[in-house]
Chain A
Amino acid sequence: MYYFRLFTLFFILFVHFKNCFAQEIPEFGTLSKLESEFVSYEQDPEAEAVYLYEYGNNYFEIRDDYIYLITKYHAKIKILEKEGFDYANIEIPLYRSKKRKEKIVNIKAQTHNGEFKHSVKASEFFEEEVNEKWTQTKFTFPNVKEGSIVEYEYEMQSPFFFNFTGWEFQSDIPKLYSEFNAKIPGNWLYNRSLKGKLNLDVNEADIVKGCFKFPGTKDDSDCESLKYVMENVPAFKDSEAYMLSSNNYRSKLEFELSEYKSFYGGTDKYTKSWDDVDQEFKTDKDIGSQLRKKNFFEKNVDESLLTEGDEITRAKNIYEFVKKHFVWNEEYGIWQGNKVKKAFDEKKGNVAEINIALINLLNAAGLKANMMVMATRKRGLPKKTHPVMSDFNYIVAKLDIEGKSYLLDATNKYMPFGMLPYRCLNYYGRVMDFDKDSYWYDIVPENLNAVMLRAQMTINTTEQKLEGIFDLTNTGYNKVSQDKLLATTNEDSYIEKLEEEISDDFYIISHEKRSKYSNEKKLTERFNFEIENLFQGDDIYLNPFVLKFFDKNPFTASERNYPVDFGYPMKYQYVLNVKIPDGYSVKSLPENKNFVIPENGGVLKLNVSDNNSGTLNLFFTFDLNFAHYGNAFYKGLKELFDEAVKSQGQSLIVFEKI
């Protein structure tokens, strides 16, 4: 159904032993011939700046009786245009806890302008406190002009082994050469994966014998020594309409600490297999134990909520109750200090607290509900090959009733039972079933998300105006946004805004919600309206698309870099009957249209018929049948949208006086 290219490389740990000669590493302040003669980057003439060289090395070292993770970084960036001056402003983020912090122990920076060099003075490096957890070292280079090369090098020492997170090969400017090195003693195990489409030009992994000495232990540890290089890395182009997280596509190497064997014996496991994760969750204070507050909830809600009705009724009542009870504080907060009871008392909480409360209540009502951990669209798709806990940032409930499953998130007051917010439409999650093993589960978005208009129009020739009724029906996700709009705007401004959007000559006479024709996933509204100024001489010009679904094509670029992902399928439909006014005949009608893109992925139809009964019938449908379109669809999709915009904007019915 969807086509991601998530390349995951596995590195073989037991490789051949070989002597590892230290390679020549360029010294700070020197430029190679290639670097000093570099003028422009032919592969990307638009680049504002380019990394000529980037080098990183990570290793472990004992300093003042503590083991630190040391990161050395060295970069040379050529500034090609004024627009690229921002690349001369550097920020290095540093993490801190209450007790310990990351530190820059050595930093040098200078600008090369031809033969001339200008250094950044010690007093020109600033340390800024960003918030409780982060500080950053900031500086800028002196004497920067078009053609300058800015070069900096630093050494960072970190007490946080989990902060060894990898290497970003791709950035928003191109790189000629980017090299990552690491030397990791066998006591630390990191899961790793390579994301993105690009391949490594150098991929070396060796074992170095006895490379790490810990005082008081008999044997020195062996290290795994890694060297990965990418050359001529193109800039990462971001920001296209309707795309999944750029994290899915950007080329980078990801590390996650999975295990640490202490030199004093004993092993700290971080993540290893889903079995381990399942075990951890059960005992985890933040999540596992929070899921076992059934008693608290039983005591704090009406008994009837948990006992009355059949399973599906109870489930729906509980879902409505939780939605109403809580206000979401707009945080996800799945890994930190969740307090479900407190949140319940205060009637507000983060995603984890609200949905864990929901699961507790469903369980208290004797229903089978489990927690599903997942990632938002913005975060990117979690790796399926092995558990990477930092990939997950969201929790929803998975409910099973009579062989049917429902995914629930109670943070959005307008969300119908069984639908997840748009931010959650990110393909799959992992269900943590504490009775059995955890398992992957697909998120299937609501299928019918439509805006449907039914209109009837009569032209009053004596008063020279058109009178009509239209019924606007929104379903699925369109209904959710319409509900929200109606709940947050008052009637007058809603009508006013709609009138303004449509045209100067359009007046809404009355508006009502039609509850008889509405349900949980469907909302119908009826409007009575009038249009003036349709008469031009003896003719009447009518664009039958009084209300337009949209008036712009979201796809304007001729090329597309990443797949299009709408999140869910969509449908726009318009059915109109218009009476031919007495004393007039039809002069012209819009052309009929029928377009389909491959695999029936998108359909556009426009059909206008005059069946000699004195009434014209118009039928228009624009269907996007998939949530996800691979790049091969892009051209067709763009053209289909063009046709849709054109149909709505340029269709004309012309009546002429007989």
Chain B
Amino acid sequence: MRILLLSLIFTTVVNAQTNYSVSSIDGPLKENANAVVRLDETIVEITAKNKMQVTNHRVITILKKAGENSIKPYAFYSPNTKITNILALVYNDQGEEIEKIKKKDFYDISAVDGGTLYGDSRVKVFRYTPTSYPYTVDFTYTYTTPNTAFLPRWMPIDDYMVSVEKSSFNMKIIESLQWRKKEKNFKDYDIINNSSKSVISYEMNQIPAQKKEALSPSFYYYEPQLMIALNEFHLEGVDGYAKDWESMGNWQFKSLLADRDQLPEHTVRLITEKLSGITDREEKIKKIYEYVQNNTRYISVQLGIGGWQPIAAEEVDRVKYGDCKGLTNYTKALLKSQGIESYYSVVHAGKSKLGMEKDFAIMQGNHVILNVPNQENDIWLECTSQKIPFGFLGDFTDDRDVLVIKPSGGEIKHTHKYLNDNNLQKTVGEMVVTDTGGITANLEIETYGIQYDKHAEVLSMSEKDKNDYYTEYWNNINGLSIGETIFDHDKNNIKLTEKITLSAQSYVTKMGNDLLFKPNAFNANKYVPNRYSDRKLSFEIDRGYTDNDEIDIKLPINYKLGKLPSPVIITSEFGNYEMSLEKISENQLRYKRKIQLKSGLYDKSKYDGYRDFRKKIKKYDNTKIVLSKIPQGQPTKHLK
């Protein structure tokens, strides 16, 4: 019985004489769709803990050019992961074959990213120039690999603007191997589970395309996902065992990290000297971190197990470079040499906060940072940057679950959050409006948290880039000319102060004898999220922030202020906004503004409310005031 079933599954790939004409696609699947995935089939067979064969079969109809990004015309391989079979067929809109792309027609290129000096990962890619739309690409490839630490996942929803006719997943694991699975976000979807004792088998059909909507949370939070993991597995010559995070950490520590933290004696001596006289533990950690920052740089070489195992600390010590694993492990070794314990921690880095699956141990992550236990207030160190302040993570690794690897085993911990008021920007200064319509200004911008992170880029810019940066930052000011820039980088308090002088010859609009201008020259919000007649997805303010502005405005003499707008206070569940203009003297105004945006995930029904909030902010941020010329020869008081 089992044999029969299996052979049924495997023959579908070969004999799929399905009709791929465009006319056979159901109407609803064409709505909002740039492409329709006709079939996305994954067939996996694991016959030993170090033997897996995977066949991916993807048939996709491209309705228009924008759908071409979804073809996924590539297959990765490496010295141990071998492509045994690869073929792409192209059909016209009638479903007739018009082109065959064989193995030799694929481009074969290095698959390492720009930040890597050398790696052994490669990719086969094909390219097809369509002569008309729609057309269908039928792409199949099979690879074999000894690496079973990562198993293919099933994610039936494809992408925005892509619908799916059928997505299926079949995995057969030899009985002697124990495995675990996690069904994530399955409950809102029609997923068919065909699994039997011997085969894990799922499918999902007729998934309509979803339009992309501004501010929607990452796909990852709501898409259905099937994850499977073996308890006993293999990775580039190394056997592994994990049934939960504890054993996962335990294996990684023993097999990938242990004994890789030896250091030459002279380095230990050097560090000890550097720390002599320092008694504060945190101060010691900081000194060591700064030593790493000042003496190493990021260079990545990824070969075989080297993709997961750090190069030895001794080796990093010799060449003074390494990748995230090597530099983190090196920092860990230096700390250890001074009796300070720290833990190598695997994280999924990136602007969107993807965490480790808390209840399902699986090889995950793309980056490594260092965790230094510090009572209730752990220190997290990003060891690949020569610039980032001690203990600061930024939006690359903040606020997410990471795997902390201790000798005793793994543990999931959560990194620092930078939310709302943490991400503060203060802009204070003075702006002088001249009677020729120009302005000059002295400003100080102080930033903290994620806003600090963004602004700190300016520290390493050339004069030209700096000039371009500020011209873009204040692109509302035409003809802007930047004078002096002075930066005060307070790394201890993680705060940047930019002191800037600037001028613009024609900021003010002349209306006959009157002058019209926006008092908010330096931080006027123009962003209003798109409108949707029928929003489908919830929305997210990912980190939130606070901006405080206070600008003293000096007005030209011989001009009289018109009526000032009344102060504005808006409170909403998304945040608050305040703006006021205060007359200090006949020729001086004080502009104050505060905006607070609150991080959170909000229901789609609130979207219009949020849009309204942003529209109001835009309106009040761009408030204009009028100055009227005092006719000469007459004293001011005689005017109205």
Query: Nearest Cβ distance between residue A565 and chain B, in whole angstroms?
Result: 20
Stretch at the interface among B273-281, B411-419, B458-466: B458-466
- Is there contact, CB below 8 Å, between B478 and A591? no
- Is there contact, CB below 8 Å, between A131 and B107? yes
The reply to whether the CB of B4 lies closer than 8 angstroms to some CB of chain A is: no
In chain B between 259 and 303, which residues have their CB closer than 8 angstroms to a CB of chain A? Answer: 294-295, 297, 299, 301
B-chain residues with CB within 8 Å of residue A298 when the two chains form the complex: none
- Is there contact, CB below 8 Å, between B475 and A144? no
Query: Nearest Cβ distance between residue B65 and chain A, in whole angstroms?
Result: 7
In chain A between 583 and 602, which residues have their CB closer than 8 angstroms to a CB of chain B? Answer: 587-589, 591
Closest residue of chain A to B64 (Cβ to Cβ) is: A488
- Is there contact, CB below 8 Å, between B129 and A552? no
The reply to whether the CB of B528 lies closer than 8 angstroms to some CB of chain A is: yes
Query: Nearest Cβ distance between residue A284 and chain B, in whole angstroms?
Result: 25
A-chain residues with CB within 8 Å of residue B516 when the two chains form the complex: 652
- Is there contact, CB below 8 Å, between B460 and A83? yes
A-chain residues with CB within 8 Å of residue B471 when the two chains form the complex: 556
- Is there contact, CB below 8 Å, between A138 and B528? no
The winner among A557, A558, A650, A654 for most chain B CB atoms within 10 A is A650
- Is there contact, CB below 8 Å, between B512 and A500? no
The winner among B65, B297, B387, B506 for most chain A CB atoms within 10 A is B297
Closest residue of chain B to A500 (Cβ to Cβ) is: B530
> With A504-B528, A556-B471 given, is the CB distance from A128 to B110 under 8 Å?
yes
The reply to whether the CB of A143 lies closer than 8 angstroms to some CB of chain B is: yes
Q: Hey, what's the 0/1 contact readout for A321-354 against B, CB within 8 Å counting as 1?
A: 0000001111000000000000000111000000
B-chain residues with CB within 8 Å of residue A557 when the two chains form the complex: 464, 467-468
The reply to whether the CB of A140 lies closer than 8 angstroms to some CB of chain B is: yes
Query: Nearest Cβ distance between residue B374 and chain A, in whole angstroms?
Result: 28
Q: Hey, what's the 0/1 contact readout for A634-658 against B, CB within 8 Å counting as 1?
A: 0000000010011001111010000
> With A129-B110, A504-B528 given, is the CB distance from A327 to B478 under 8 Å?
no
The reply to whether the CB of B192 lies closer than 8 angstroms to some CB of chain A is: no
The reply to whether the CB of B117 lies closer than 8 angstroms to some CB of chain A is: yes
- Is there contact, CB below 8 Å, between B468 and A556? yes
Query: Complex Cα distance A330/B299, Å?
Result: 35
Closest residue of chain A to B127 (Cβ to Cβ) is: A329
Query: Complex Cα distance A652/B511, Å?
Result: 7
- Is there contact, CB below 8 Å, between B117 and A89? yes
Query: Nearest Cβ distance between residue B474 and chain A, in whole angstroms?
Result: 11
The reply to whether the CB of B601 lies closer than 8 angstroms to some CB of chain A is: no
- Is there contact, CB below 8 Å, between B478 and A144? no
Query: Complex Cα distance A130/B118, Å?
Result: 11
Query: Complex Cα distance A504/B615, Å?
Result: 8
> With A327-B131, A348-B129, A652-B516 given, is the CB distance from A126 to B479 under 8 Å?
no
Query: Complex Cα distance A488/B516, Å?
Result: 41
B-chain residues with CB within 8 Å of residue A328 when the two chains form the complex: 129
The interface on chain A, measured as residues whose beta carbon lies within 8 A of the other chain's beta carbons, has a size of 47
The reply to whether the CB of A438 lies closer than 8 angstroms to some CB of chain B is: no
The reply to whether the CB of A46 lies closer than 8 angstroms to some CB of chain B is: yes
The reply to whether the CB of B320 lies closer than 8 angstroms to some CB of chain A is: yes
Query: Nearest Cβ distance between residue A156 and chain B, in whole angstroms?
Result: 19
The reply to whether the CB of A521 lies closer than 8 angstroms to some CB of chain B is: no
B-chain residues with CB within 8 Å of residue A117 when the two chains form the complex: none
The reply to whether the CB of A378 lies closer than 8 angstroms to some CB of chain B is: no
- Is there contact, CB below 8 Å, between B117 and A126? yes
- Is there contact, CB below 8 Å, between B319 and A347? no
Query: Complex Cα distance A335/B317, Å?
Result: 50
- Is there contact, CB below 8 Å, between B117 and A140? yes
> With A129-B110, A591-B510, A652-B516 given, is the CB distance from A82 to B386 under 8 Å?
yes
The reply to whether the CB of A553 lies closer than 8 angstroms to some CB of chain B is: yes
Contact among A552, A642, A654 with B475 in the assembled complex (CB-CB below 8 Å):
A552
Closest residue of chain B to A543 (Cβ to Cβ) is: B509
> With A126-B117, A588-B512, A652-B516 given, is the CB distance from A46 to B478 under 8 Å?
no
- Is there contact, CB below 8 Å, between A130 and B129? no
In chain B between 514 and 538, which residues have their CB closer than 8 angstroms to a CB of chain A? Answer: 514, 516, 528, 530
Closest residue of chain A to B478 (Cβ to Cβ) is: A645
- Is there contact, CB below 8 Å, between B295 and A145? yes
- Is there contact, CB below 8 Å, between A140 and B479? no
- Is there contact, CB below 8 Å, between B110 and A144? no
The reply to whether the CB of B426 lies closer than 8 angstroms to some CB of chain A is: no
Contact among A143, A500, A552 with B319 in the assembled complex (CB-CB below 8 Å):
A143
In chain A between 346 and 384, which residues have their CB closer than 8 angstroms to a CB of chain B? Answer: 346-348
- Is there contact, CB below 8 Å, between A642 and B479? yes
- Is there contact, CB below 8 Å, between B462 and A144? no
Closest residue of chain A to B297 (Cβ to Cβ) is: A85
- Is there contact, CB below 8 Å, between A347 and B131? yes
Query: Complex Cα distance A622/B464, Å?
Result: 28
The reply to whether the CB of B174 lies closer than 8 angstroms to some CB of chain A is: no
The reply to whether the CB of A142 lies closer than 8 angstroms to some CB of chain B is: yes
Q: Hey, what's the 0/1 contact readout for A525-537 against B, CB within 8 Å counting as 1?
A: 0000000000000
> With A46-B463, A552-B475, A557-B464 given, is the CB distance from A138 to B118 under 8 Å?
yes
- Is there contact, CB below 8 Å, between B511 and A654? yes
- Is there contact, CB below 8 Å, between B464 and A642? no
Query: Complex Cα distance A551/B396, Å?
Result: 33
- Is there contact, CB below 8 Å, between A140 and B299? yes
A-chain residues with CB within 8 Å of residue B528 when the two chains form the complex: 504
- Is there contact, CB below 8 Å, between B478 and A142? no
Query: Nearest Cβ distance between residue B508 and chain A, in whole angstroms?
Result: 8
In chain A between 398 and 419, which residues have their CB closer than 8 angstroms to a CB of chain B? Answer: none
- Is there contact, CB below 8 Å, between A329 and B129? yes
B-chain residues with CB within 8 Å of residue A140 when the two chains form the complex: 117, 299, 321
- Is there contact, CB below 8 Å, between B299 and A646? no
- Is there contact, CB below 8 Å, between B110 and A646? no
B-chain residues with CB within 8 Å of residue A348 when the two chains form the complex: 129, 131
- Is there contact, CB below 8 Å, between B319 and A553? no
Q: Hey, what's the 0/1 contact readout for A33-72 against B, CB within 8 Å counting as 1?
A: 0000000000000100000000000000000000000000
Query: Complex Cα distance A588/B516, Å?
Result: 11
Query: Complex Cα distance A130/B318, Å?
Result: 29
Query: Complex Cα distance A589/B295, Å?
Result: 63
The reply to whether the CB of B79 lies closer than 8 angstroms to some CB of chain A is: no
- Is there contact, CB below 8 Å, between B129 and A330? yes
Query: Complex Cα distance A421/B409, Å?
Result: 63
B-chain residues with CB within 8 Å of residue A330 when the two chains form the complex: 129
A-chain residues with CB within 8 Å of residue B530 when the two chains form the complex: 500
- Is there contact, CB below 8 Å, between B478 and A553? yes
Query: Complex Cα distance A139/B321, Å?
Result: 12
The reply to whether the CB of B609 lies closer than 8 angstroms to some CB of chain A is: no
Closest residue of chain B to A48 (Cβ to Cβ) is: B462
Query: Complex Cα distance A126/B462, Å?
Result: 32
The reply to whether the CB of B435 lies closer than 8 angstroms to some CB of chain A is: no
> With A646-B478, A649-B478 given, is the CB distance from A130 to B297 under 8 Å?
no
Closest residue of chain A to B301 (Cβ to Cβ) is: A126
Closest residue of chain A to B320 (Cβ to Cβ) is: A143
Query: Nearest Cβ distance between residue B528 and chain A, in whole angstroms?
Result: 6
A-chain residues with CB within 8 Å of residue B460 when the two chains form the complex: 82-83
Contact among B107, B117, B467, B511 with A138 in the assembled complex (CB-CB below 8 Å):
B117
Closest residue of chain A to B303 (Cβ to Cβ) is: A126
A residues with a Cβ closer than 8 A to B are 46, 82-83, 85, 89, 118, 124, 126, 128-132, 138-140, 142-145, 327-330, 346-348, 488, 500, 504, 552-553, 556-558, 587-589, 591, 642, 645-646, 649-652, 654
Excluding A144-B320, A145-B294, A646-B506, 12 further A-B contacts by CB distance (< 8 Å) are A82-B460, A89-B117, A118-B319, A131-B109, A132-B108, A138-B117, A327-B131, A327-B132, A553-B478, A642-B479, A646-B479, A650-B509
12 contacts between A and B (CB under 8 A): A82-B386, A118-B318, A118-B319, A126-B301, A140-B117, A144-B320, A348-B131, A488-B65, A504-B615, A557-B467, A646-B478, A646-B506
What 10 pairs between A and B have smallest CB-CB spacing? A142-B319, A588-B511, A588-B512, A126-B118, A329-B129, A650-B509, A347-B131, A143-B320, A556-B471, A642-B479
B residues with a Cβ closer than 8 A to A are 65, 107-110, 117-118, 129-132, 294-295, 297, 299, 301, 318-321, 386-387, 460, 462-464, 467-468, 471, 475, 478-481, 506, 509-512, 514, 516, 528, 530, 615, 618
